[in-house]
Structure 1
Amino acid sequence: MKVKKQHRKKKYLHKLNRKRMHHKLKSTGTVKSKILKEAWNNKKSSYRNLREMGLANDPNKAIKIPSFKQEKLQIAKKIVKGDDTDSEPEEPVPRRKPPKIAVAKELEKEAKAPRERRFMLPKGQVEFITYLLDKYGHDYKAMARDKKNYYQETWKQLRAKVKTFMGIPKQYGEYLESRGLLDKEDDEEKLKQDVKNLIMDDSD
């Protein structure tokens, strides 16, 4: 007995833009990097664009991991043929320099450039750390014995948390300002230097 296929009743939805949906499905996304965007040629494929810039489309093909099985097969073939196994390997054919190699160098330079730290501690952790600083100052061993140390963190763990908090100028600056320990005229560079000095003093 043949099973009859259940055909769902198709409805034409006027609210959908079929052309826009097609473009969205076909699109591979926009190039966010400014360096790549300027050198990108929309008439060429992504593989060719990246190859011309000196970049790899597939890392597995660019950096091949030697196969143990293939190496042993090649040695076995040489032994069967009677070739000298200690012969020097053939030198690889030098590849042509990519025309847009400057793009790869610019990306490498951009990746190595220092970035602004955007890490921020959660509100709960800031409240806990500021509570400890207000009560004990920098006496970390006394902090470890506090009743609010629910997770039984050691004094070294608490010291690391305080150092992390002090290393965030925005949050630590707000704390100092709220306690009247920082003037509004103090600039961010001075605050960073003061924080660095405090961390160096506490490292002993």
Structure 2
Amino acid sequence: MTKLRKQRRRKVYKHNVNRKRLRNRQTSKGSIGCKEIKNAWDQKKSVQANLSEMGLSYDPNQTIKIPKRKKQLQEAIGVIKNDGQVELDKSGKQSKKYIAEALEADAKAPREKKFRLPKSQVEWLTYLIKKYGTDYKAMARDSKNYYQETWKQLRQKIRTFRKIPEQYEEFLRESGVQPIDSDGNATDDEL
């Protein structure tokens, strides 16, 4: 009787599982984020075949093998001769090596920094700069310092704010405050 009870307990239907979504998740190959790979992807081929055609690595452990210590010693003695590199594409099929080059060029391209501070934090920092200038210890004692940030934390936030030219220059234009140099002192010249 215990055997039947265990079998019955194991076969409980789970009402909270969406079977269709579960099946789709198991059978899908995932979405490809890179447009170069997405355009050259062949749905009829396996992942490994697609990546090897593009000149990309499916398994980095196979592509860049870590040499065994025993083999290194044998090569040093002269038992095994080192052949050099192994050719990846031995078949006469058309390869898609240009994709690896395009990915490399895209990775090396300079990126535009899009870091911006939130509007609320910019307002808070501009309020502090207008009221106290560079007196960070007075900023820390301000009654509106709700998060109880220390003077060093506030100094670092203001330095970060100054490194974002779009937001800091807009602040300088709107208020007649002089720019602050890297030492925390007010400068005479505009940016």
Identity of aligned residues (%): 40
Confirm whether residue 108 of structure 1 aligns to residue 115 of structure 2.
no
Shift of 1:117: 2.5
Structure 1 gaps of 5+ residues are 182-197
Match of 2:181 in 1: 202
Distance 1:37 1:143, change over 3 A: same
Which of 109, 116, 127 is the matching residue for 1:131? 127
Deviations 1:5-27 (A, max 9, x none): 32556599xxx784x65333200
CA distance in 2 between partners of 1:63 and 1:94 (Å): 11
* TM-score scaled by length of structure 2: 0.65
Match of 2:65 in 1: 64
* TM-score scaled by length of structure 1: 0.62
Match of 1:193 in 2: none
Confirm whether residue 144 of structure 1 aligns to residue 140 of structure 2.
no
Which of 85, 104, 110 is the matching residue for 2:77? 85
Shift of 1:57: 1.2
Matches within 5 A, 1:22-101: 22-66=23-67, 70-72=68-70, 75=73, 85=77, 89-96=81-88, 99-101=95-97
Distance 1:28 1:126, change over 3 A: same
Match of 1:185 in 2: none
Q: How many equivalent residue pairs?
A: 168
Match of 1:2 in 2: 2
CA distance in 2 between partners of 1:121 and 1:173 (Å): 14
Shift of 1:126: 2.7
CA distance in 2 between partners of 1:130 and 1:116 (Å): 25
Shift of 1:111: 1.4
Deviations 1:77-115 (A, max 9, x none): x5xxxx971678412244146821110110111112223
CA distance in 2 between partners of 1:61 and 1:104 (Å): 18
Match of 1:188 in 2: none
Q: Secondary structure at the match of 2:87?
A: coil
Q: Secondary structure at the match of 1:42?
A: coil
Confirm whether residue 153 of structure 1 aligns to residue 154 of structure 2.
no
RMSD: 3.7
Confirm whether residue 165 of structure 1 aligns to residue 158 of structure 2.
no
CA distance in 2 between partners of 1:84 and 1:10 (Å): 63
Q: Secondary structure at the match of 2:99?
A: helix
Shift of 1:61: 2.5
CA distance in 2 between partners of 1:89 and 1:128 (Å): 69
Q: Secondary structure at the match of 2:2?
A: coil
Deviations 1:20-44 (A, max 9, x none): 6533320021222111111111111
